[in-house]
Every structure is written in structure tokens, then in C-alpha cells.
Structure 1
């Protein structure tokens, strides 16, 4: 432990809110792109779509250092995927209803939950943030 007791300064509230909104918009983009790619190039497209989602969720965690950094892009991802899977009154839809779509929906959700429940990132200066030290 360094003993200095100085914590790094947190970014202003407006910057954090902007980051979470940006992550949510990235989640919408990754969800929409993944919905199209996973069906177009079935086996590898599905893997690529899930890897993109995992990278976004974990990147949000690393960039913000909080679970909200995972929840924001995951909410955007879920919104895009659910809107694209709903279909239209004419019967058109992005998802055809096969195994790949189910794996994409459940896999992306599992990846978001896994990233959101990861342990907190270590704090600079060697402090783990535990109260019982």
C-alpha cells in the first residue's frame, strides 16, 4: 500500500453521463449489426456478432470501471435486438426464427450478465477497496 491515501479524481458528472449515453448508442449499433451479420454468415457471423457484443460489454466495464458501464451498452443492445426481432404487421422481420437467432439472443444476454458480474477493477495505488483491511 502506498500510504498516500490520495484517490484519483473522478470525471465530472456530465462526462460520465455522456460516456454512458455513448455506450448505449454503441450498444444499439452493435446489436443491429450483429442481428444482420449473424444471419448472413451463419456459423462465423454468429461468432463474430457475439464477440463484438462481448468486446463492447467488457470495454464498457474497463472504460468506466463500473457495472453501469456494462448495463448501458447492454440496454442499447437488447433494445436494438428486440426491436429487430419483433417484425412488422406485414410479416417482415430480420430474424427468421432458427437456432442461430436463439443462440444470438441468449448468448448476448449471458455475455452481458457475465461482464456485469465481474469483480471490480483494481484501484490504482494497490488498494483493493475492501473495508476490512
Structure 2
């Protein structure tokens, strides 16, 4: 039992760190536009959603998906504020607002998604 708990804790820590990397990448790239199309935002949401779904499906553990999502949200919040020199990485724009709101919603959807669809139907 002790080995199993250590493995789960290690999984959650790694998931948090990987989520932080994806959250940082999405926070930096979300503002890229190709003409009028918000390409950076679309790719950031798809990438983070794919990582969350992969962690949830591969581990079968919603806590690992939550740790990944918390890493993403923590990185986004940390790098969205003013730096020590007063510089701002993420200026307050509509795209930044959408990114800041879309990420926790995406995490919530993946974490609360039922384990099996057949379980809801009684199969």
C-alpha cells in the first residue's frame, strides 16, 4: 500500500510540473494571431485539452488530471501578473481574458467527466 501511495504522489507531482509547462506555453502563445484568427489561443486550448484528456485516460485518475490542471492554472496566474521590474507578460486584452477563463473551465470539464459513459446507462 505504501508503494502505491508513493507512486500516486510522484504521478501527481510530475503531472503538476508538466501542466505548468503547458500552462506557461499557452500563456505566452495565446496572444498570437494570424490576421484576424486567434491561432495561438486555439492551439493553446487544444494542446492543454489534449494533455488533460491524455493524463485522465492514461492514468485513469481524476486526481492526476486535477494536478495537471492546477499546474496549468498556477502557471497562467503566476505569469499573468506584473514582474519584479514592472513588466507584464500578458497584457489585459480580450484574448487574455478568454485564455484565463477557458483554462479552468477546460480543467473542470475533464476532471468531472464520468469514468465510463456506459456506467450512466446501466451497462
Q: Normalised by the shorter chain, which TM-score bucket?
A: 0.7 to 0.9
TM-score, structure 2 as length reference: 0.83
Tell me how far apart the structure 2 counterparts of residues 83 and 121 of structure 1 sit (CA, whole Å): 35
Map Cα deviations across residues 38-59 of structure 1 (whole Å, 9 max, x no partner).
Answer: 1234601100001111111111
Map Cα deviations across residues 19-52 of structure 1 (whole Å, 9 max, x no partner).
Answer: 1111100111001000111123460110000111
* Structure 1 residue aligned with 2:18: 26
Contact 2:19 2:70 in 1 (8 A): yes
Return 56-65 or 104-113, whichever deviates more.
56-65
Tell me how far apart the structure 2 counterparts of residues 45 and 52 of structure 1 sit (CA, whole Å): 10
Map Cα deviations across residues 69-118 of structure 1 (whole Å, 9 max, x no partner).
Answer: 21101111111000101112532111111010111111111100000110
Q: Does 1:102 align with 2:97?
A: yes
Q: Does 1:75 align with 2:70?
A: yes
Which stretches in structure 2 are left out of the alignment for 5+ residues? none
TM-score, structure 1 as length reference: 0.78
Aligned length: 117
RMSD: 2.3
